[in-house]
């Protein structure tokens, strides 16, 4: 189409928008913006949940790299040597061991089966932000004996009767209380609760944590072995790089990055989130196409006679078609921009007030690529759904449309 014709089409489109029914135009922009927001919001929330789960797992369970015993072994042996090797590698912020043993907790007549985890508190600070999540009391110190920190879900609430509890707990343990712990090996010991933590991670908040020295007492020997080591990677290094370094160094243990673990573990759940998000996006897109198609179809049908008159006075049908198409383009661009704004406001709001569930706290996760991709998809859908009815009416016989 020649520049002159495009100019006339734009002229007609713009005049129609600014001098036509203003409330109808605003409604159309609002509909498109809502569709865009809907396209963005649900998938972003799903991504946000995924990101949150990943971050929690990295923060409290596996860190960036998890080292586990080689196939056939129960433990990583010669622990201190292994830790020294790993800690000396480029890109490693800190590697720290974990030990765990099943146990039964007893507190004021309540019994609770759980796993007791042993950590080296000072080293753990480099690997996990657990120490920042204390909601009562304080974090463990190296060498603490007879003291434990417990998750909020283990502590429970004194206001909820045992039979009403969704998640079994000790029914309201407070800092300073004593808990009797019966370990899986038969060892019994009373621990004073030094602190209670809340991470927001279901599994973590169900843990009881003691010091490495305490666990050595339970096991009855020095713990120069561990079921797993977590490794924090320095910010400028990639997990894969550090993993490869560790493997190249000749460590025979099983070394996995977070990505490796997520792909195996919750990878399918995250993939399901992505599929749900994609379906939601497609449904929104179909709504957008149908709404815009109807809006432009009604507009062109109402203007059939005028379209016929324009053709009669020598306006080319391509000019007429583009004048309606350009109206849709302008409406959809305005709608997408308003949608950007709505989405941004929702993201900002939910960053401060996330959607909290027992499993995770979700904030929509939106990247510029998501915004651009959804914007382009909606724009393309708008153009097609707007041009189609305009094209149909513009090519009708003048006599047919002029007699309306």
Partner 1 sequence: MSSGCEHMIEIQDLRKIYQMGQVEVKALDGVSLTIDKGEFIGIMGPSGSGKSTLLHLLGLLDDPTSGSIQIEGIDVSRLTDWERTMFRLYKLGYVFQDYALVPELTVKENICLPAMLRTDREEKDYIAATRDILHKIGLWDRRDHLQSELSGGQQQRVAIARAIVNTPDILFADEPCANLDTENSRMVLDLFKQINQEMQQTIVMVSHEDWHKEYFDRIVRLKDGKMVNGGR
**Closest approach of Cβ 330 to partner 1, in Å?**
14
**Closest approach of Cβ 308 to partner 1, in Å?**
8
Asked if 402 interacts with partner 1 (CB under 8 A), we say yes
Query: CB atoms < 10 A from the CB of 115, how many?
Result: 14
Instruction: CB nearer to partner 1: give 215 or 307.
Output: 307
**Closest approach of Cβ 26 to partner 1, in Å?**
16
Which tokens sit at 314? 């020598």
CB 317 within 8 A of CB 395: yes
Segment 340 to 399, residues that bind partner 1, using CB under 8 A: 398-399
Asked if 297 interacts with partner 1 (CB under 8 A), we say no
Stretch that binds partner 1, among 13-21, 33-41, 84-92, 230-238 (CB under 8 A): 13-21
Which tokens sit at 71? 């196939």
Kindly determine how many residues on this chain lie close enough to bind partner 1 according to the rule CB under 8 A: 27
Which tokens sit at 377? 């998809």
DSSP letters for 104-172: EEEETTEEEEEEEEEE-HHHHHHH-GGGGGEEEE----TT--SEEEEEHHHH--TTS-GGG-SS---SS
Asked if 321 interacts with partner 1 (CB under 8 A), we say no
- What is the C-alpha to C-alpha distance for residues 281 and 16, in angstroms, rounded to an integer? 31
Asked if 16 interacts with partner 1 (CB under 8 A), we say yes
| Lookup result for tokens 């020295």 | 213
Question: Which of 71, 164, 313, 368 forms a contact with partner 1 (CB under 8 A)?
Answer: 313
| Lookup result for tokens 């279901």 | 202
Asked if 25 interacts with partner 1 (CB under 8 A), we say no
Question: Which of 29, 155, 292, 310 forms a contact with partner 1 (CB under 8 A)?
Answer: 310
Question: Which of 31, 160, 219, 309 forms a contact with partner 1 (CB under 8 A)?
Answer: 309
- What is the C-alpha to C-alpha distance for residues 337 and 334, in angstroms, rounded to an integer? 5
Instruction: CB nearer to partner 1: give 211 or 300.
Output: 300
CB 285 within 8 A of CB 336: no
**Closest approach of Cβ 335 to partner 1, in Å?**
21
**Beta carbons within 8 Å of 249's beta carbon, 6+ residues apart:** 85, 89
Asked if 20 interacts with partner 1 (CB under 8 A), we say yes
**Beta carbons within 8 Å of 382's beta carbon, 6+ residues apart:** 32, 288, 289, 292, 328, 329, 331, 332, 335
CB 354 within 8 A of CB 51: no
Stretch that binds partner 1, among 291-299, 303-311, 329-337, 350-358 (CB under 8 A): 303-311
Asked if 291 interacts with partner 1 (CB under 8 A), we say no
Q: Report helix angle 368-394 to 304-312, nearest 10.
A: 70
Question: Which of 94, 194, 311, 322 forms a contact with partner 1 (CB under 8 A)?
Answer: 311
**Closest approach of Cβ 15 to partner 1, in Å?**
5
Stretch that binds partner 1, among 31-39, 130-138, 216-224, 313-321 (CB under 8 A): 313-321
Asked if 71 interacts with partner 1 (CB under 8 A), we say no
Stretch that binds partner 1, among 165-173, 286-294, 307-315, 368-376 (CB under 8 A): 307-315
Contact letters (x/-) for partner 1, 94-133, by CB under 8 A? Answer: ----------------------------------------
**Beta carbons within 8 Å of 154's beta carbon, 6+ residues apart:** 105, 112, 114, 169, 170, 173, 205, 206, 207, 208
188-197 and 147-151: which strand pairing? Answer: parallel
Report which secondary-structure segment, H or E, holds 60.
none
Asked if 2 interacts with partner 1 (CB under 8 A), we say yes
Binding interface with partner 1 (CB under 8 A): 2, 4-5, 7-8, 11-12, 15-16, 18-20, 305-306, 309-317, 319, 398-399, 402
């Amino acid at each position: 189409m020649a520049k002159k014709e495009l100019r006339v089409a734009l002229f007609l489109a713009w005049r129609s928008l600014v001098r036509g029914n203003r409330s109808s135009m605003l409604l159309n922009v609002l509909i498109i913006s809502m569709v865009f927001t809907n396209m963005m919001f649900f998938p972003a929330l799903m991504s946000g949940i995924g990101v949150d789960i990943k971050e929690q797992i990295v923060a409290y369970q596996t860190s960036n790299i998890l080292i586990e015993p080689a196939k056939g072994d129960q433990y990583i042996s010669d622990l201190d040597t292994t830790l020294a090797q790993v800690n000396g590698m480029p890109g490693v912020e800190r590697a720290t061991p974990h030990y765990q043993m099943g146990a039964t907790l007893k507190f004021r007549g309540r019994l609770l089966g759980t796993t007791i985890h042993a950590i080296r508190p000072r080293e753990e600070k480099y690997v996990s932000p657990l120490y920042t999540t204390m909601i009562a009391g304080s974090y463990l110190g190296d060498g603490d004996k007879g003291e434990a920190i417990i998750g909020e879900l283990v502590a429970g609430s004194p206001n909820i009767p045992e039979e009403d509890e969704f998640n079994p707990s000790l029914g309201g343990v407070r800092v300073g209380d004593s808990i009797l712990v019966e370990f899986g090996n038969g060892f019994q010991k009373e621990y004073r609760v030094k602190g209670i933590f809340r991470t927001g991670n279901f599994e973590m908040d169900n843990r009881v944590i003691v010091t490495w020295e305490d666990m050595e007492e339970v096991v009855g020997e020095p713990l120069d072995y561990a079921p797993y080591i977590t490794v924090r990677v320095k910010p400028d290094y990639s997990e894969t790089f550090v993993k490869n370094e560790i493997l190249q160094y000749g460590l025979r243990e099983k070394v996995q990055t977070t990505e490796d673990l997520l792909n195996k573990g919750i990878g399918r759940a995250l993939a399901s989130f992505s599929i749900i998000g994609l379906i939601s996006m497609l449904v929104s897109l179909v709504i957008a196409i149908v709404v815009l198609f109807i809006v432009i179809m009604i507009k062109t049908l109402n203007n059939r006679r005028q379209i016929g008159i324009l053709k009669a006075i020598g306006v080319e049908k391509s000019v007429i078609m583009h004048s309606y198409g350009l109206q849709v383009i302008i409406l959809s661009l305005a709608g997408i921009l308003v949608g950007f704004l709505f989405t941004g406001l929702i993201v900002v709001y939910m960053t401060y007030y996330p959607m909290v569930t027992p499993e995770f706290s979700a904030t929509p996760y939106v990247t510029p690529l998501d915004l651009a991709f959804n914007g382009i998809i909606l724009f393309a859908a708008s153009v097609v759904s707007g041009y189609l009815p305009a094209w149909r009416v513009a090519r009708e016989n003048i006599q047919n449309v002029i007699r309306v």
